[in-house]
Structure 1
């Protein structure tokens, strides 16, 4: 009977990877108990954006097997590392950048990390905005101090299920850092290689705005899975976002997609939508860079950040939080697709991705 179930499951494709679940090695269990079929699918990310479709497709395929009266579908998840993992124990490093300040890049980075962790991924968050670190405050730990283990490696702090490091937790509050390039490079090296990150599925890196030393140091220090560009819709922001895209292109870092922040505003009293900054402008960056999502302008996102609670956790039912969660899941899907393609490129004769 297991063979019949597996043959049925060979007809079910992963909607993003466009290959069947069996050849992808995603079927962990397929067995019968009387007339009840038990199927466990091991997803490529716990933040799978199309989990519901996979479940319905599996149910339909298995119910067509003679003798099956009902189907119970359960899920696990194993994030697969690229052919060349980013760091020991870290499967993917994702840079979150912008061409200019003031577009909500850090808010997006914090909420992406919190959303992925809530969905069950092991997530780290590095605040690489050395001159203007804000992650510690947004994570509710502005006064915490970073310590070291017996191997003299920095121990990341943890909040909301996310491990994080920020210069704000190393330097006195309000103190300006007046550093030149070599000192920045040294600091980034320590944050990446001299920290006990442990086992992570995703390390989200909040970059400083622009195209400067920190960006170059990171791309030269670690194998980066890809970058996310955060922008607002107006032309002034898009001009700078295009520069950020060009920088990553020159550094051979794939752009995983664009997040259009402050895309529109919904008046709470009337429900009317206002395109304050001209919604949809991020599409001008080009069709080759997928739009991961449009985040509405929402006062709760700012309030939650000030209070140290990511909006996806503090107000998960709000339009902004749902949009941010959608971006996180779409991003996870993009990473899964790229990982499969890179693995197949390394192993052209292998039929099953393990």
Structure 2
């Protein structure tokens, strides 16, 4: 299968365009989408699909998500552009009390298959109201799917699954990855929700991450191997709810150490859920306590030095791993009785 090099924003836009051609029920609404979107996610789409399917809205997130919920109930497949994930908070009732609960409350007779695109996380100089990573908020709500692609291929595969699914999907797209490039297959394959991916094999510890923090974890792992001979296995969750518990437990059962790395605030974050699950199920296996590397519980500063205090960077991951390996430098034997996940794509 041949591929094409694309940025994340190009890959997602191409997937949306292809699906809109295939399915006339898919349409987009949000602020400035007819002009291409803040990051160019919709550039040129109005020329092909017209203002009836690429719909500009007022600055009213509750109205746009509410309209999308109603339209989804009537059989269409809306894609809501929130511009920044922070702004989705203005539509929490529509997301949490309506979209997330409709399928359950009506016994499956009604459903809300909409995709809420949320440009998420840091972007240099965006400050406190435009830089938050809010995945834990939405992962906490029964009925919502939460995705967080970190590569162009995953940006296509996860969006494709969301556009063809039957559930409301909170699709978090890291702003600092919009221009990240990679090969995308000519034939885009849907990525099932709840299936993570081992992006780097290792034996000494497992690092679980997603989104932009994944790339810092990869840099840290390479430096740890080059400098210290530490072998880190890295899992990209890709879907935050449901998350791939089976894959994480399989990996940690072998490496016997776990670090969870994410850009969102450390306290009460999704990393705590993963850490608790591993501690509950593998506590007799672990060679050190589970650690988290994440952002401090402070607003994001505007100035670069303040922003860097918040930012998760490779050197912070390296410091955490070094302290864990020093606790018990013994090698990590295989743990019997747990099978490796086979190719589940």
Q: Larger relative CO (CA 8 A, sep 6+): 1 or 2?
A: 1
Give 1 or 2 for the bigger CA radius of gyration: 1
Q: TM-score, normalised by structure 1?
A: 0.29
More helix by share: 2
Q: Normalising by structure 2, what TM-score?
A: 0.29
